[in-house]
Amino acid sequence: MTETRAEIVDSHCHLDFPELITELPDVVARAQAAGVMRMVTICTRLRNEPQVRAIAEAHDPVFYAAGTHPMSVADEPMARVEELVALARHPKFVGIGETGLDYHYTAESKDVQQESLRLHIEAARQTGLPLIIHSRDADDDMARILTEEHRAGPYSCVMHCFSSGTELARAALDLGFYLSMSGIAAFPRSGELREIFAAAPVDRILLETDAPYLAPPPHRGKRNEPAYTAFTARTGAEVFGMSLEAFARQTTANFDRLFAKAAAYQAAA
């Protein structure tokens, strides 16, 4: 494992998924040993929020967010703004989502996905917490909705596991949003994606695993876990021509700026 002295944050993982939950204390311990000192675990179905909240309550380095994943929105009750606002009162609830648009597998539900997305955006506005966006094969609609809604009232946002095109990256950055780098950026054939990241301001980049998915080399094809954020950090440092320690420090500062509630919680602990 490549180590760094600077703290790394895994800004997006799924610790409640069966691949990780059965050995969670060891998963968290391995993350910390690799320099990954904080993690945000994401609830993708609101009915699972109590279990995800319990993980954050049981593990000091873990924070959480909740929303309805776009691939699940047709099968779940529509999220309500007041419900998300109420959940956000928990001290370790630090983001709204993940929400977004996914037309790759679930294009037939795009209308309800768009409705859900707009509700999550309103919850982000009301709470002041960052929106966590999943976008796949929906670049045009995503850029349009994010821009329309931002004009209607500002909010903050991270494009989680960013692997879309240049135009969506530019639209997000122009709105002041952040791009999150996952293990996909370290795949050998992801040269175009690395170029998109390289053209972005380094103070707008986050790191994540999306564990248990998308493990970076040398673990590609295997179960991912937060400790492997360190491998993606190494790729990011190369992309931006920085030392690993400097890149880790920069992305952690970026996380603290966007996820200010998590930073304040840590400072008060």
96: CATH: 3.20.20.140
Instruction: Give per-residue pLDDT as tens, 152-186.
Output: 999 999 999 999 999 999 999 999 999 999 999 99
47 located within any domain: yes
1 located within any domain: no
2 located within any domain: no
Within 10 angstroms of residue 130's Cβ, the number of other Cβ atoms is 28
58 located within any domain: yes
Q: Is the peptide bond before 212 cis (omega within 30 degrees of 0)?
A: yes
DSSP type of residue 242 = -
* Tally of domains in the chain: 1
DSSP type of residue 216 = P
DSSP calls for 149-212: HHHHS---EEETT--S-HHHHHHHHHTT-EEEE-GGGGSTT-HHHHHHHHTS-GGGEEE---TT
Which residues is 131 bridged to in the sheet?
96, 157
Where does residue 202 rank: exposed (0-12), middle (13-18), buried (19+ CB within 10 A)?
A: middle
pLDDT-derived band at 2 (thresholds 50, 70, 90) equals very low
pLDDT-derived band at 25 (thresholds 50, 70, 90) equals very high
> Is residue 160 within 8 Å of 208, Cβ to Cβ?
yes
239 located within any domain: yes
Average pLDDT, the chain: 96
- pTM for the model stands at 0.96
Task: Give the number of residues written for the chain.
Answer: 269
Range of the domain at 235: 8-268
207 located within any domain: yes
70 located within any domain: yes
pLDDT score, position 1? 43
Secondary structure percentages of the chain, helix, strand, coil, to 5: 50, 15, 35
pLDDT score, position 268? 87
139 located within any domain: yes
Instruction: Give per-residue pLDDT as tens, 28-85.
Output: 999 999 999 999 999 999 999 999 999 999 999 999 999 999 999 999 999 999 999 9
